[in-house]
Amino acid sequence: MSTVPFWPVEASHYAAQLDFLFIGLLAITGFTAGFVFFLLILFAARYREGSGVERSTPTTKTWEWEVAWTTASLLVFVGLAVWGASLYVTLYNPPRDSLQIFIVGKQWMWKAQHPGGQREINALHVPAGRDVRLVMASQDVIHSFFVPALRVKQDVVPGRYESLAFRADRPGQYRIFCAEYCGTDHAHMGGWLTVMEPRAFAGWLRTEGGHGTLADQGAALFRNYGCSGCHEPGGTVRAPPLEGLYGNPVPLSDGRVIRADDSYIRDSILLPKKDVAAGYDPVMPSFAGQLNEDDVAKLVAYVKSLGSSAPAGASR
Partner 1 sequence: MVLKVWLALFALLALTTTMAFVQLGSANLAIALAIAVAKAVLVLWFFMELKGSAGLTRAFAAAGFFWLLILIALTWADYSQRRDVRVPVTISSPRSP
Partner 2 sequence: MSGPPPRNYFNATVGIRSWLLTTDHKRIALLYFASITFFFLVGGFAATLIRFELVTPGPTFASPDTYNRLFTMHGVIMVWFFLIPSIPTTMGNFMIPLMIGAKDLAFPRLNLASWYLFIAGGALTITSLLLGGIDTGWTFYEPYSTFYATGYVILAISGIFLSGFSSILTGLNFIVTVHKLRAPGMTWYRLPVFVWSTYTTSVILVLATPVLAMTLAMLLVERVFHVGIFSPALGGDPLLFQHMFWFYSHPAVYIMILPSMGLISEIIPVFSRNRLFGYHFVVWASIAIGVIGFLVWGHHMFVAGQALFASLAFSFLSYLVAVPSAIKVFNWIATLHNGWIRFSAPMLYAFGFIGLFTIGGLTGLFLAALAVDVHVTDTYFVVAHFHFIMVGGAVMGYFGGLHYWWPKISGRMYPEYWARFTAILAFFGFALTFTPQFIVGYLGMPRRYQSYPPEFQVWNVLSSAGASILAVAYALPVFYLGWSLLKGVRASPNPWNATGLEWDVPSPPPPENFERTPDVIRAPYQYEGGRALPQAKHV
Residue 220 engages partner 2 in binding (rule: CB under 8 A): no
Residue number with CB closer to partner 2 (179 or 227):
179
Residue 215 binds which of partner 2, partner 1, none (CB < 5-8 A, kind-dependent): none
- Tell which residue, 209, 189, 226, 213, has the closest CA to residue 109: 189
Residue 137 binds which of partner 2, partner 1, none (CB < 5-8 A, kind-dependent): partner 1
- Residues 233-262 binding partner 2 (CB under 8 A) are none
Cβ–Cβ under 8 Å, residues 207 and 116: no
Residue type, 121: I
Residue 160 engages partner 1 in binding (rule: CB under 8 A): yes
Residue 291 binds which of partner 2, partner 1, none (CB < 5-8 A, kind-dependent): partner 1
Report the C-alpha gap between 203 and 77 in whole angstroms.
Answer: 49
- Residues 45-64 binding partner 2 (CB under 8 A) are 47-49, 55-58, 60, 62-63
CA-to-CA dists, residue 16 to 113, 149, 170, 210, 280, angstroms? 29, 10, 12, 37, 52
Which three-class secondary structure state does DSSP give residue 120? Answer: strand
Backbone torsions φ then ψ of 27, nearest 5 degrees: -65, -50
Cβ–Cβ under 8 Å, residues 249 and 289: no
Residue 158 engages partner 2 in binding (rule: CB under 8 A): yes
Backbone torsions φ then ψ of 281, nearest 5 degrees: -90, 150
Residue 263 binds which of partner 1, partner 2, none (CB < 5-8 A, kind-dependent): partner 1
User: Shortest approach of partner 1 to residue 275 CB, angstroms?
Assistant: 11
User: Shortest approach of partner 2 to residue 300 CB, angstroms?
Assistant: 20
Q: Would you tell me which residues interact with partner 1 (CB under 8 A)?
A: 137, 139-140, 158-163, 263-264, 266-267, 270-271, 288-289, 291-293, 296
